């Protein structure tokens, strides 16, 4: 599974600092995960409720579209699954409602992504770096198409900005230390596609997957890597602010790791004997979750109570990874594709064990994906 994960990231790879001053009121949480969190092997007493809802659609679990899927939650609890050029809407019970499709007639050579506008009335679908399509969030009706006259050519993901605008995230030479020094990761555009400003310089090795994730209240988390090791938040007003920093101490990967090499390969970076790459950032009403790639590319999941400098972490299953994709006030949301029954019995991931303890038979069937909702105590 480790090699599969690295190959997925490799496939993605083949395809600045903001003139912004943090106000005195903004709170940046400095996390020290290995000091503040306790390693656990059982989550039975940490989980209040688990729901598993069938999504009566079939997906190709081996495709890049599935690997790059994104889950957005609408203001009324509707679920929007971003999958390739389609955004499927399901109600809170998993019943299919409608789809928003980008019909361009040809495949996009770059990444595609979507977000929900600050006023939560529109869905913004970015077709690579060339066009943004606005859909009505209530019925999926296409409203307008906005050609990007000056594309960034390095588009990765999108987030909402004030006054109907949006942020583009772009990486210079992802999955390598041979990137353009001083490249700015985030660019803000207005609702007409006019470039306003750029922010957050790329200062280190960055893997271009799950860069922007929706959080509670239609806020968004934007992650960086390398020498920054910070997480930024797009708040409810669409304003960008630094939210978290990650410090793994001496066990964290040095900012200069691999700099003497001509080109640092992804597999070498992931297998390095350090904790690195905070990813799958997910923030609910009461908890903050993320995953880190540890020594020998083993994944660890961290869970903090919001407002507290303490938490827990557990080792992920290398053969069946589960990651939260979005969150609301009470629940964290993940998607699981069908798995063989023997895998449900053998997993050592404490989160998966709790899920399979209640829903092993249904997950073992040859069926469509399942939406998993987890409420922590």
**Residue 363 banded pLDDT, cuts 50, 70, 90:** low
Q: Model confidence over 80-127: pLDDT tens digits?
A: 999 888 899 999 988 999 999 887 655 555 578 999 999 999 999 998
The answer to which of 10-14, 118-122, 132-136, 360-364 has the lowest mean pLDDT is 10-14
**Residue 161 banded pLDDT, cuts 50, 70, 90:** very high
Domains of the chain are: 29-376 (2.120.10)
SS (H, E, C) 88-125: EEECCCCCEEEEEECCCCCCCCCCEEEEECCCCCEEEE
For residues 365 and 360, give the distance between their C-alpha atoms in angstroms, rounded to a whole number: 9
**Residue 59 banded pLDDT, cuts 50, 70, 90:** confident
To the nearest 10°, the Cα dihedral for 264, 267, 273, 277? Answer: 80
Q: Model confidence over 292-339: pLDDT tens digits?
A: 999 999 999 999 999 889 999 999 999 888 899 999 999 999 998 877
- Whether the pLDDT of residue 181 is over 90: the answer is no
Tokens representing residue 345 in the block: 């019995």
- Whether the pLDDT of residue 185 is over 80: the answer is yes
For residues 361 and 377, give the distance between their C-alpha atoms in angstroms, rounded to a whole number: 26
Q: Model confidence over 191-243: pLDDT tens digits?
A: 999 999 999 999 888 888 899 999 999 999 999 987 788 999 999 999 999 99
State the first-to-last Cα distance of the chain, in angstroms, to the nearest integer.
30
- Whether the pLDDT of residue 131 is over 70: the answer is yes
Q: Model confidence over 16-37: pLDDT tens digits?
A: 333 333 333 347 999 999 999 9
Query: Considering the chain, what is the average pLDDT of its residues?
Result: 85
**What percent of the chain has pLDDT above 70?**
86
- In terms of phi and psi (left: phi > 0; alpha: psi -120 to 50; beta: otherwise), the region of 259 is alpha
For residues 325 and 316, give the distance between their C-alpha atoms in angstroms, rounded to a whole number: 16
For residue 364, the model assigns a pLDDT of 54
Q: 210 or 368, which is more confident?
A: 210
- In terms of phi and psi (left: phi > 0; alpha: psi -120 to 50; beta: otherwise), the region of 337 is beta
């Amino acid at each position: 599974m480790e090699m599969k994960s690295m190959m997925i990231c490799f496939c993605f790879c083949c395809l600045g600092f903001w003139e912004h001053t943090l106000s005195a009121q903004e709170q940046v949480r400095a996390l020290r995960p290995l000091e503040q969190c306790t390693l656990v092997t059982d989550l039975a007493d940490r989980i209040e409720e688990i729901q598993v809802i069938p999504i009566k659609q079939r997906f190709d679990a081996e495709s890049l579209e599935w690997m790059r899927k994104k889950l957005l939650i609408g203001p009324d609890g509707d679920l929007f699954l971003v999958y390739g050029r389609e955004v499927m809407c399901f109600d809170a019970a998993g019943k299919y409602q409608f789809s928003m499709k980008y019909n361009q007639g040809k495949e996009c050579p770059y990444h595609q992504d979507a977000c929900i506008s600050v006023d939560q009335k529109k869905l913004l679908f970015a077709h690579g770096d060339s066009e943004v399509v606005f859909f009505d969030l209530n019925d999926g009706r296409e409203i307008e198409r906005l050609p990007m006259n000056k594309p960034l050519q390095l588009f990765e993901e999108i987030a909402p900005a004030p006054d109907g605008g949006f942020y583009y995230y772009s990486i210079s030479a992802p999955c390598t230390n041979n990137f353009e020094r001083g490249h700015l990761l985030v660019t803000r555009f207005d609702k007409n596609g006019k470039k306003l400003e750029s922010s957050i310089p790329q200062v280190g090795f960055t893997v271009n997957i799950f860069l922007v994730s929706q959080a509670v209240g239609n806020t968004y988390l934007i992650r960086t890597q390398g020498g920054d090791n910070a997480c930024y938040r797009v708040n409810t007003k669409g304003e960008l602010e630094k939210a978290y920093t990650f410090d793994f101490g001496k066990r964290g990967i040095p900012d200069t790791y691999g700099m003497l090499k001509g080109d640092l390969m992804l597999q070498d970076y992931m297998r390095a004997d350090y904790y690195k790459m905070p990813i799958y950032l997910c923030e609910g009403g009461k908890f903050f979750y993320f995953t880190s790639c540890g020594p020998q590319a083993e994944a660890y999941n961290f869970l903090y109570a919001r407002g507290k400098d303490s938490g827990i972490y557990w080792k992920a299953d290398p053969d069946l990874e589960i990651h939260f994709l979005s969150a609301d006030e009470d629940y964290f949301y993940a998607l699981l594709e069908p798995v063989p029954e023997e895998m449900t019995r053998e997993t050592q991931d404490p989160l998966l064990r709790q899920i399979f303890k209640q829903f092993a038979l249904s997950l073992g069937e040859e069926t469509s994906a399942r939406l998993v909702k987890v409420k922590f105590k």
